[in-house]
Amino acid sequence: MDRRESGALARRMGNCGAMRTRPWVLLLAAIPALFLAYFFVYPLVTILYTGLVPNGQFATSAFAEIVTNPTMRSVAWFTLWQAFLSTVFTVALGLPAAYVFARYRFPGRSLFRALTLIPFVLPTLVVGVAFLAVLGPGSPFGIDLRGTIWAILIAHVFYNLAIVIRGVGVLWEQIDPHIEDAARSLGAGRWRVFREVTLPLLRPAILSSAALVFLFSFTSFGVILVLGDLHHTTLEVEIWRQATAFLRLDLASALAVLQLVGVTVILLIYGRFSRRTAGELPLRPSAEVARRPRTTGERLFIAATLGMLGLIVAAPLVVLIGRSLSTPTGPALTHYANLINPPRASAVFVSPLDAIGNSLRFAIPAVIIAAGIGLMAAVVIVSARGRSGRIFDTILMLPLGTSAVTIGFGFLVALDQPVDLRASAILIPIAHALVAIPFVIRSTVPVMESVQRRLREAAAVLGASPRQAWREVDLPLVSRALAVGALFAFAISIGEFGATSFIARPATTTIPVAIFRLLGRPGTFGEAMAMAVVLMAITGIAAMGIESMRGSRSGGV
């Protein structure tokens, strides 16, 4: 009996999944569950307790302050409407790009698609710094939008565009074009075909992508911190300010609870629409759907779309590089040399070169933890069919929707017992791994679910146990997907700023923390730009690796 049959039988017998019939799956599930319980659930519960019981007695004064204080109400309202506008603009610009990549083949297609991934894996702090170079003081365009909502919205579009391009494009590039051709043969124009045929098919993917864009804009930290210039503040930034600048742990906890409620609602919406992505459509392999442009209009549309992407994606990165080379005497590598021999090391407590070493040193254990726990969780999700598997999957995805600032704040207020870990450097890679585990799971679960049953059956006929069959059959096939997840974990760890800003100590300063401190010190703006370029290069290499592995992933599993 294979796992699908055993899962169906378990459901018919009233069991919620296959876990009860497979003790080894239950044992395997214990490790991710315990990790999540201690490093995620416990800190969140502690935040809730701190907000409701600040001095050992139940109180709602912090929550009442959020409601009655005009500044707090303004922060909550700004968090909502900026996330809404960011989502609208991102979807509006992302849909044409998703269509171009889904339906046309042209020179440089893979390269352009890889470039759209780089902004998404870039740390939000680097995104903020890049747009500070483009739209801030000394802008090459002669404008200064720092402290305005426009700089924030443009940066959010830049950061989240890949979500729409990939989230919608993955489905769009597999929808059989004959469906649209049939509508055109009946006399419908292009716009009517899109509105009445294509759009309804894409609606679940569009809505689920929009929910993710809204989530990331809702919990934006680095972009708001750099570009908002404290004139515009989101819940994420306000939690950080109240906890670190004003030492109002009760108010920070109450704000974190408010943000968690909003994030939970967004995740429920995302889960609802992502599950509704049509699986019964007449889908075709993407290689059969994409074609070369045939008309001048199609070529002009592709050129305009790629030009728009180049302006949005490439311009900030190019300007960032240019600002890192700018000196009073002309272009030079002076700022990069200062990273090696800093004249103002006290600006970041450790030298910028040491900060780079710290980031790489923390990334290695973060990748190991995220890949190991993510792989175990993926095996459990695939093996535990039915409701139990879905519940376990949903719980493990919660860190993706929880702000990094909330995670770091939770570590700060909770992990003082039974062993005080708050001053331990091990918390930094653990925080990074916690955020990265959902990416490992999402990379590996679809591949595991697509492994052909006959391969396992053949292994069983040869006498292999279920664990041996998984090790000999599933693991080699899923290794490439696991490598993709590991690269995501590496990029996330290198650029994570929100949680690290709470738990990093002077000796454990990472690249993003060093960049922020350099930005806040007069005379070190060039060094901040240079370090941002270094961070951009590291994450860009990871993005290229992700795209390369996805592009060469073999089918037929």
pLDDT tops 80 at residue 470: no
Residue 336 lies in a domain: no
Q: Which of 178-192, 232-246, 391-405 has the highest mean pLDDT?
A: 232-246
Of 291-305, 422-436, 470-484, the least confident = 470-484
Q: Give the model confidence (pLDDT) of 510-536 as tens digits.
A: 888 888 888 777 777 788 888 888 888
Domains contained in the chain, number: 1
pLDDT at 274: 58
pLDDT tops 60 at residue 475: yes
Which pLDDT band holds residue 88 (cuts at 50, 70, 90)? very high
Q: Give the model confidence (pLDDT) of 374-394 as tens digits.
A: 888 887 877 766 666 667 777
Residue 248 lies in a domain: yes
Residue 457 lies in a domain: no
Quote the percentage of the chain above a pLDDT of 90: 2
Q: Give the model confidence (pLDDT) of 126-157 as tens digits.
A: 777 778 777 777 777 777 777 788 888 888 88
pLDDT at 90: 92
Of 35-39, 57-61, 134-138, 173-177, the least confident = 57-61
What the block records as the tokens of 473 is 């059959």
pLDDT tops 90 at residue 326: no
Residue in the block written with tokens 């770091």: 408
pLDDT tops 60 at residue 290: yes
Residue 66 lies in a domain: no
- The C-alpha R_g of the chain, in whole angstroms, comes to 24
Residue 50 lies in a domain: no
pLDDT at 86: 92
Residue 174 lies in a domain: yes
Q: Which of 28-32, 394-398, 540-544 has the highest mean pLDDT?
A: 28-32
- Averaged pLDDT for residues 289-306: 82
Task: Give the span between the Cα atoms of 393 and 387, in whole angstroms.
Answer: 10
pLDDT at 89: 93
The residue range of the domain holding 140 is: 76-296
Task: Give the span between the Cα atoms of 15 and 2, in whole angstroms.
Answer: 17
Which pLDDT band holds residue 18 (cuts at 50, 70, 90)? very low
- Averaged pLDDT for residues 267-285: 56
pLDDT at 87: 92
CATH number of the domain within which 93 lies? 1.10.3720.10
What are the percentages of helix, strand and coil residues in the chain, rounded to 5? 75, 0, 25
Q: How many CA atoms lie within 13 A of 155 on its CB side?
A: 35
Residue 221 lies in a domain: yes
Per DSSP, the residues of 148-203 read: SHHHHHHHHHHHHHHHHHHHHHHHHTTB-HHHHHHHHHTT--HHHHIIIIIHHHHH
The sign one gets for the Cα dihedral 465, 467, 472, 473 is positive
Per DSSP, the residues of 287-333 read: HHH-B---SHHHHHHHHHHHHHHIIIIIHHHHHHHHHHH--TTSS-S
- Averaged pLDDT for residues 482-503: 81
- Averaged pLDDT for residues 209-226: 82
pLDDT at 320: 82
pLDDT tops 70 at residue 501: yes
What the block records as the tokens of 100 is 């171009």
Global confidence as pTM: 0.71
pLDDT at 14: 37
- Averaged pLDDT for residues 103-115: 78
- Averaged pLDDT for residues 45-69: 71
**Length of the chain in residues, anyone?**
557
pLDDT tops 50 at residue 201: yes
Of 199-208, 356-365, 370-379, the least confident = 199-208
Residue 89 lies in a domain: yes
Chain mean pLDDT for the chain: 75
Q: Which of 189-198, 266-275, 313-322, 394-403 has the highest mean pLDDT?
A: 313-322
pLDDT tops 80 at residue 480: no
